[in-house]
Amino acid sequence: MSARDDTPPHHDAGIPPPAGGRVMNIRDVFAGLVVIAISVLALWLARDYGFGTLRRMRAGFFPNVLAWAGVGLGTLIMVRGFLMPADEPAHPLRLRRLLFITAAFATFGLGIDPLGLPLTVFLTSLVGSMGDRESQAREALLLALGLAAGISVLFIGLLGLPLPLYPGFF
């Protein structure tokens, strides 16, 4: 028996953890922290908006609900990073997805006032779909149309939120 066989296994750089063991996935932990940080920033930015109730939502209701959902999601991602099984490979960074999803958020934020809700949702959906290489143009267009119509009916028609329905340049 060599000296190496006598020593208990440990988690040095060259020695993998035992099968079924746990190892921290630094990408998930970092991603969870980033989601939490962005959500806390959103909570801070929306602190002066009125919250309202479910029946009478005010300007701060939706940002606060989304920000708290982001805190919860970020926490789940971070906990998953701490508990990821050693035999599960870490997912590679998908730059295309990151860029197009970020661009979709920017499209919505920059487009909602000048373009109106339906057109902004339509464009946001198309930009987001470009993050997936397997996305089909026909499916993306149908989804974008359905989302634009459904979200417009829900938020403007049913909830009566004061969102622009058509572009401001008409």
**AA letter at 79:** V
Mean pLDDT along residues 154-166:
86
Rounded Cα distance between 131 and 96, Å, is: 6
Domain residue extents for the chain: 22-92, 94-170
Model confidence over 31-84: pLDDT tens digits?
899 999 999 988 888 778 777 777 777 777 878 888 899 999 999 999 988 887
Q: Quick check: pTM over 0.75?
A: no
Kindly give the residue spans of alpha helices, DSSP state H, lying in the chain. Answer: 3-6, 26-45, 61-83, 95-115, 117-129, 137-152
Burial group, residue 122, by CB count within 10 angstroms (0-12, 13-18, 19+): buried
Most distant CA pair in the chain, distance: 83
pLDDT, tens digit (0-9, with 9 covering 90-100), for 67-81: 899 999 999 999 988
Phi then psi for 57, rounded to 5 degrees?
-70, 140
